[in-house]
Amino acid sequence: MSKGPYRPKDHYFRKAKQEGLRARSAFKIDEIAARFSIFRKGQAVLDLGAAPGGFLQIIADQVGPNGSVVGIDLAAITPLGKPQVRTAVLDVLAQDFDAQLDALHPGAFDVVVSDLAPKTSGIRSTDEARSLALAGVALSVSRRKGKPQGHFIAKLFMGGDFEKFRAELRALFDEVKVVRPEATRGASMEVYLVGLRRR
């Protein structure tokens, strides 16, 4: 049965506006966090692909004023007005990315979150491959910058080498979950892979 065309003024869009959230995607990270108890007070969290800041709003509240949240994107992020949140325009593919990240937050992260997404071409196999490549970059950042026993969350499109990537996560984390949050648009191919407690 067809779900019909995407309507931008849907329930989650309206709810985000009502709650002062920057994007409907905020509900996605909120659901994932609640299901797996991802965030705790005082944690350090890295959010890749953070614009416009919907994830940052949820994460900042959950880690509290003693936590630290770093949001990275190719687009500038309007400040949230929360002292525990720092943002920067950075390219995760840049050779000096780690050095630039260290300047923002010199330590390791308890959680690395990636909402990185490719510019879609409309060619499914191409979009799946690009999405998987970005998830792989995020995992590489997590391996370098994540703490032992830390968590990893990455958005990607289902298909292509998805199973191979999931196997890679299973080799690194105690548990790996596949989540399609309720706020995901009907026709979207996206899911989130959640790696819990890095070995």
- Is 15 one of the annotated active-site residues of the chain? no
Beta strand spans in 53-120 (E): 68-73, 85-89, 109-114
| Alpha helices by DSSP H, the chain | 11-18, 26-36, 54-63, 97-104, 124-145, 162-172
In this structure, which long-range contacts are made by residues 91-100, counting pairs with CB atoms below 8 Å and at least 24 apart in sequence? 92/48, 92/116, 92/134, 92/137, 92/138, 92/141, 93/137, 97/141, 98/144, 98/145
Cβ burial, residue 105 (10 Å; 0-12/13-18/19+) = middle
Q: 3, 155, 164, 177: which one is catalytic?
A: 155
Helix (H) or strand (E) holding 151: strand 146-157
User: 50 with 77: CB under 8 angstroms?
Assistant: yes
Quickly count: other Cβ atoms within 10 Å of residue 75's Cβ: 9
Strand partners, 172: none
Write the DSSP symbol of residue 87: E
Q: Active-site positions?
A: 155
